[in-house]
Structure 1
Amino acid sequence: MQKEKRLLLFAFVIMPTHAHILIKPENQTIGQVTQQFGSFTAHEILKKVQEDGKTDWLKIFEKEKRDPRHKHSIWQDIQAKNIFSMKVLEQKLDYIHQNPIAKNWNLVNDRADYVYSSAGYYDYGRKPIIEIT
């Protein structure tokens, strides 16, 4: 989707049970974007998780499946919210990147060290696993 420029990706974090993204759709409805995003990202997430040998994550995705035609389920629902101000945009960007170091997760000490996030890109210019446009 991103390479075809249907959306611009500004930020992301993929957590063990959920994900957050900050995107700007290009010439599509939010319904089209969420459907295409769900399908595309589920495929990419499964591919990366399998490459990284995250068997615990795969078990969660298998347990959560709702469609018998699929082995895994990544998304329960996708909630989209419009952002109309720079202040709210900055708040959402910070919230997304703080997820891995939140008390209830504590996945890393430095948010930029969480590989499934764009925080390293913003904090230190590191290349993220998903290209930021």
Structure 2
Amino acid sequence: MALRGREKLKEYNCFFITTTCTEHLHLLPIGESYKIIYDNFDHYNKKYLADILGYVLMPNHFHFLIYFKQQNRLSDYLRDFKKYTSYQIRVEVEKNKPEIIEKLIFIRNKQKLKVWADRFYDEHIYTTAFLEQKLNYMHKNPLQEHWKLADKIEDYEHSSASYYINEIQRHQSVTHYLNYFDPIIV
């Protein structure tokens, strides 16, 4: 996969990432798919020396803030993450919702089924204010009119909002962004 200019971003350590299920299918609530995402975050964070600073997993996409403690390996991280989770989520779909497997059919090269849309969206985080803007955006995602997945941001189970509001870590370990960014002084 082409890096589309990502080599120019090698000097940055923190990114806001969005990746989406193919055809915007609601694949993440199927079976153990959310757990698969969490387990793979843990695995690839160790492998690539990264911390998750915030996240929200939605039914058909997810956002997260990632900080690379040493070398920025964003493209490698996402390539490996999407490749392995694709296989695992496909197994969950086959097991728990086989009627939608035909929607995942995609034949190109050696690939036969597709869980993730091509590419991912990334923005490098360069200030505390920009990081907080992205964190707020992602935490409010489940409350949007077309989702209505929770009444308050901290109530949505698949989000880091409860960590930042109530200091409750749920499924995913989160590192507070102030470990890497200076606080905003008003």
Classify the TM-score, shorter chain.
Answer: 0.7 to 0.9
Amino acid in the other structure paired with 2:50:
L
Greater mean deviation of Cα atoms: 72-81 or 8-17: 72-81
The number of aligned residues is 125
Question: Is 1:37 aligned with 2:81?
Answer: yes
CA distance in 1, matches of 2:103, 2:136: 31
For 1:129, the equivalent position in structure 2 comes to 171
Name the counterpart of 1:17: 60
Taking the aligned partners of 1:66 and 1:33, their CA distance within structure 2 comes to 23
TM-score normalized with structure 2 length: 0.55
8 A Cα contact 1:38 1:75, kept in partner? no
Q: Select the residue among 124, 145, 153 that pairs with 1:103.
A: 145
Contact 1:12 1:96 (C-alpha < 8 Å) held by counterparts: yes
- Residue type of the alignment partner of 1:66: F
Query: Partners in 2 of 1:65 and 1:7 — Cα distance?
Result: 33
SS of aligned partner of 1:97: helix
Amino acid of the structure 1 residue aligned with 2:103: K
Q: Does residue 7 of structure 1 match 2:40?
A: no
| TM superposition shift of 1:6 | 2.3
TM-score by structure 1 length?
A: 0.74
Q: Matches of 2:137 and 2:54 in 1, distance apart?
A: 10
The alignment partner of 2:51 has SS state of strand
RMSD: 2.9
Q: Which has the higher strand share?
A: 2
User: Bigger CA drift: 30-39 or 76-85?
Assistant: 30-39
Q: 1:4 to 1:33 in 2, by over 3 A?
A: closer
Give the gaps of 5 or more residues in structure 1: none
Higher RCO, Cα 8 Å, sep 6+: 2
Decide whether the 8 Å contact of 2:143 with 2:152 is kept in 1: yes
1:28 matched to 2:72? The reply is: yes
Change (3 A) 1:40 1:91: farther
* Distance in structure 2 (CA, Å) of the matches to 1:79 and 1:59: 29
Tell me which residue corresponds to 1:63: 103
| Change in 2 beyond 3 A, CA 1:36/1:120 | same
Secondary structure at the aligned position of 1:37 is classed as: helix
Residue of structure 1 aligned with 2:122, choices 74, 80, 87:
80
Counterpart secondary structure, 2:130: helix
Gaps of 5+ in 2: 1-43, 176-186
